Amino acid sequence: MDELRVSPIMTSDTSPSPYIVSASSVYNTSWYPAWKAFDGGFSPTDSHWVSNVFPSWLMLDYGRKQRVDKYKIQVNSDILKSPKNWTFEGSNDSFVKDIDILDTRTNIAWKSSEIKIFEVLSPKEYRYYRIKVTANNGDTYLYIVELSMYINISNKFLISSGDGKTHSIQITSGKSEVPKMTSPTSPSGEVTTSNTYTPDGHYRAFDNDDTTFWQTNSPSINQWIQYKFVKKTVISSFALLISHLPYAPNNFKLQGSDDGIVFTNLGEEFSVTDWVVKTRRVFETKNKTPYLYYRILTLSTNSGNVIRIDSIELISPRVYEIKEIPSQTEQDFIKYGMDRVTILDLNEEIVLKSFVDSNQTTLGSGKVFSQKINTSKIPIKKVSIT
């Protein structure tokens, strides 16, 4: 299977832009900085990242979302310094709350200066990737000579309509539509609840801070928390984050309303018993109707007698866009091709259509306009050239 390297050849922690390499620990920043693991080569003297702390992580920020299908690790000639146990992880918020473990390896043995390839079984697009090493093969120091990341370009395809035109369908994920709340009514909308332990504290489920929470002070049956939008909005999914398992909702549903009185169930009733602490979990409803009010109705907890939810997101639908591709070149295939693992919901409406213009304009071929300025009438105090 063909592959394309998507990790850059770094010449410093921040070059080339917009890529940024960082690490939790660097043994000697002059000799063994983090970017040395991304410099594209092997030199026995200094071309590697070194840490003497466990666990240690090495991270690459792409500056944008990027898919990774596999990664390669090259180790030093001293195999005792090579990683033995680690996780390969992805995130879109610099591993603050959004942490997905993409691959886990234990008891990995190496040969001198060996390169190994590791597959990501369920690849998605992330801005940040890191390898988090919890143990090496016996030495005080951890050495990684090279960490590189790749996509499988043979996993891409384009759609032919039979009339000579080629298309690609691009899917943009929905986003949280509730602003970061600083009070029940600020900056906009309104958060209300059936019950809360702390007066006015219920809005903290929408404050984008997973150290705060909404908690009830009465029995956990049929309690709700809701958000009223400024105008009717389509919400098709929601995300919850839990930190205290006994108080986590066990059975719950999302409901929508136009008047805050009569509510409609959106999607199924969800039943969850396998919550993971501080891990964001998304629930799909496939709702396409705009409502003014949305509320999470909790029907029971795992074992506690109150409800506690640390974070709630109300998420807009995914956007389907069809692109008409003017040619079928290799670059178009790589840039616009869809991944074979992409799930296309044929019931979704394609709301955008765009055309890719492959014609390039030569630098300096544009028109130039000139105008004389009488500086005695219009004095020039500052000139800006862009």
Q: Pick 324 or 8 by higher pLDDT.
A: 8
Please say if the pLDDT value at position 147 is more than 60: yes
Average pLDDT over residues 48-63: 96
Average pLDDT over residues 338-354: 68
Instruction: State the pLDDT at residue 362.
Output: 42
Instruction: State the pLDDT at residue 280.
Output: 92
Average pLDDT over residues 296-321: 91
pTM of this structure = 0.53
Give 26's strand partners: none
Instruction: State the pLDDT at residue 168.
Output: 82
pLDDT category at 160 given cuts 50, 70, 90 is confident
Please say if the pLDDT value at position 370 is more than 50: no
Q: What are the CA-CA distances from residue 145 to residues 25, 54, 73 (Å)?
A: 15, 17, 7
Q: Which of 171, 168, 187 is closest to 179 using CA atoms?
A: 187
Q: Which of 266, 272, 288 is closest to 240 using CA atoms?
A: 272
Instruction: State the pLDDT at residue 382.
Output: 47
The percentage of residues in the chain with a pLDDT greater than 90, rounded to a whole number, is 64
Instruction: State the pLDDT at residue 360.
Output: 47
Q: What are the CA-CA distances from residue 47 to residues 11, 28, 33, 115, 294 (Å)?
A: 11, 12, 9, 15, 54
Q: Which helix (H) or strand (E) holds 76?
A: none
Please say if the pLDDT value at position 347 is more than 80: no
Please say if the pLDDT value at position 41 is more than 90: no
Please say if the pLDDT value at position 120 is more than 60: yes
Average pLDDT over residues 377-384: 48
Same fold, 3-155 and 190-315: yes
Please say if the pLDDT value at position 380 is more than 50: no
Average pLDDT over residues 249-265: 96
How many Cα atoms are found within 13 Å in the side-chain-facing hemisphere of 48? 21
Q: Which of 254, 364, 252 is closest to 308 using CA atoms?
A: 252
pLDDT category at 166 given cuts 50, 70, 90 is confident
pLDDT category at 167 given cuts 50, 70, 90 is confident
Please say if the pLDDT value at position 78 is more than 80: yes
Instruction: State the pLDDT at residue 170.
Output: 80
Express each pLDDT in 172-191 by its tens digit.
889 999 999 999 999 999 99
Instruction: State the pLDDT at residue 320.
Output: 84
CA distance 142 to 50: 6
Three-state SS for 306?
coil
Instruction: State the pLDDT at residue 349.
Output: 67
User: Are the C-beta atoms of residues 131 and 95 closer than 8 Å to each other?
Assistant: no
Across the chain, what does the average pLDDT equal? Answer: 86
One-letter amino acid for residue 88 of the chain: F
Q: Which of 152, 144, 130, 155 is closest to 62 using CA atoms?
A: 130
Please say if the pLDDT value at position 2 is more than 90: no
The percentage of residues in the chain with a pLDDT greater than 70, rounded to a whole number, is 83
CA distance 297 to 382: 61
Instruction: State the pLDDT at residue 152.
Output: 83
Instruction: State the pLDDT at residue 193.
Output: 95
Q: Which of 191, 188, 228 is closest to 212 using CA atoms?
A: 191
Question: Does domain 190-315 correspond to CATH entry 1.20.120.1750?
Answer: no
Looking at the chain, the number of H-run helices and the number of E-run strands are: 1, 27
pLDDT category at 308 given cuts 50, 70, 90 is very high
The DSSP symbol for 176 reads B
CATH homologous superfamily of 3-155 equals Galactose-binding domain-like (2.60.120.260)
| Cis check: omega of the bond before 16, within 30 degrees of 0 | yes
Domain borders along the chain are 3-155, 158-173+319-355, 190-315
Instruction: State the pLDDT at residue 10.
Output: 94
Please say if the pLDDT value at position 377 is more than 70: no
